[in-house]
Amino acid sequence: MSKIDSSLFNAQEHALDKEYRLCPECGGSLSVRKSKHGLFLGCENYPTCQYMRPLQQHSVLIEKVLDDSSCPDCGKPLAIKKGRFGLFIGCTGYPECQHIETNSLQPETAAELPICPLCHHGQLQAKTSRYGKTFYACSDYPKCKYAINDKPVAKVCPQCGFAILIEKRTRQGIRFCCPQKSCNYSDESL
């Protein structure tokens, strides 16, 4: 039987220990902490020192390089990438070039989505939650915090007069309903 070297298990001798031991901002010791987003390294001098670093790096995978496109910033080809929040189009020259095409993979255009019924100033936009679900929120966030889970339709509710209806998908097909809890309007056609 071979003998196991006990120095392999000594935390002081670990190769990565120096990188994770001291805070680069204040010199305090770092410790592993837990939050709702996962594990991270945090400074012991919190709240005076707010230094923290994630333990996990979120990787971005290139799904497909778009040969017929070029980055407007650096000229390199663009690619469809898969990241933490889903698919997006970005430059293949990352990290030197950090260009990302905004709203390039959103199926709804701005003309299809209605004005916010709460503030009447912003427009409802399709957004993706951190769990990958699509929801619709006002573009004037954080001033206006109106958000709904179902796709909005720019039609006035005939029963209560609310500015939008929502599109609900059921087994029987698509139904258009009023998002107001006090109104029970629901119809199969507009």
φ, ψ for residue 18 (rounded to 5)? -65, -35
pLDDT tens digits, the chain, 190 residues: what are they? 567 766 656 555 454 555 567 888 888 888 888 888 778 888 888 888 888 887 766 666 777 888 888 888 898 999 888 876 677 888 888 878 888 886 544 444 455 788 899 888 888 988 888 777 888 999 888 889 999 999 999 899 998 989 899 998 888 888 899 999 899 888 887 6
- pTM value surpassing 0.75: no
Query: Of 114, 94, 90, whose CA–CA distance to 102 is shortest?
Result: 90
Where would I find the H helices in the chain? 17-21
Count Cβ atoms below 10 Å from residue 81 Cβ, excluding itself.
Answer: 20
φ, ψ for residue 8 (rounded to 5)? -65, -25
CATH code for the domain defined by 15-54:
2.20.25
